[in-house]
Amino acid sequence: MSSARAFLGMSHTPLMGLNPISAEVDAQLQGAIAQAREQVLAFDPELVVLVAPDHYNGFFNELMPPFCIGTQAHAVGDYLTPAGQINVDEGAAVALTDRLMDEDFDIAISRRMRVDHGFSQPLQLLWGGLETPPVIPVFLNAVATPGIARLRRCRALGVAIGRFLAKETRRTLLIGSGGLSHEPPVPTLADPDPAVRERITVRQEPSQAERDAKTQRVMAAGMALASGSIAMKPLNPTWDQRWMDAMAGDGKALDRLCALSEESVTQEGGRSAHESKSWLVARSALGVEKKPSCSLRHYQAIPEYIAGFGILMLQQNL
């Protein structure tokens, strides 16, 4: 019999601690993060399956898989997140990849994955850094069209991961890191500037000056969104709450979610709302037949952070 599993869906934002927000908003956010940390540490996971996107720091258009499992992973330390090696369970990562291939799920594997704040921030918020329980990192492409993972395929991957975990004796925490609604200024191949297209196509190591300039651009976008002074897509709390409702529901709720069109995710949630699919993968690995128990649900729309920031903690009803 498999050991216990828990699910944590958590938004991330590179602007946490950079852009100013009101004391009340910050207190509510930090209080919810503290609750999540307390519940995770009480659950005491012995294995973490971490599903997250990248923002052109580790994966580029020259080779962009919809999904990829890392047997090693190095955090680049962008924004205010820590740099260094993720504590990857290499044996478990290889075994999961092998099992998925046996089940006809063609999955990419990286022996030297590079990850950014999408992976490192939840670890930082929960454990204070990168000294964590063993991790299986699962990358999900959420920005580079046309290879963005589709909803049904995300659920299928999560269910397959759940079958793999059926023989796992360790307590396992499934983290979906990303979303919810937001549309930050992430460059695309439609950009008219060839230098921008090259930067998101070819793997490269940005200079500190380039990192600083990017940070300043994103910070400025967040403050502009909060002031309403630019034509950025606003956050969509209604869409975010519907997404969280589905995650907290049973298998039928996830079926209904997967019936949404890909275009509706972009139109209602924003181009980067596809990051929310990290929640769908991780939630599907928890099991979908019964409605799980919910011990924490928190949501704030924080435009300064360009984040519909949600936190959802679920456990199996065994």
Instruction: Catalogue the active-site residues.
Output: 117, 182
Closest Cα partner for 67 from 133, 177, 154, 134?
Answer: 154
Q: Pairing between strand 135-140 and 67-70?
A: antiparallel
Measured CA distances, 124 to 16, 28, 82 (Å): 12, 18, 7
Q: Which amino acid is at 86?
A: I
Q: Pairing between strand 293-302 and 83-85?
A: unpaired
Locate the DSSP E strands across 132-250: 135-140, 172-177
Residue 40's φ and ψ, nearest 5 degrees, are -65, -45
Using the Cα atoms of residue 33, residue 34, residue 35 and residue 36 in order, give the sign of their dihedral: positive
- The helix (run of H) or strand (run of E) holding residue 122 is helix 117-127
Q: What angle do CA 62, 156, 123 make, to 5 degrees?
A: 65
Residue 22's φ and ψ, nearest 5 degrees, are -65, 155
Measured CA distances, 266 to 85, 130, 171, 255 (Å): 33, 32, 35, 19
Asked if 148 and 274 touch (Cβ cutoff 8 Å), the reply is yes
Closest Cα partner for 311 from 130, 176, 137?
Answer: 176
Structure tokens belonging to residue 274: 């596809």
| Block residue for tokens 């005491």 | 44
Give residues with Cβ within 8 angstroms of 66, minimum separation 6: 140, 141, 147, 148, 149, 153
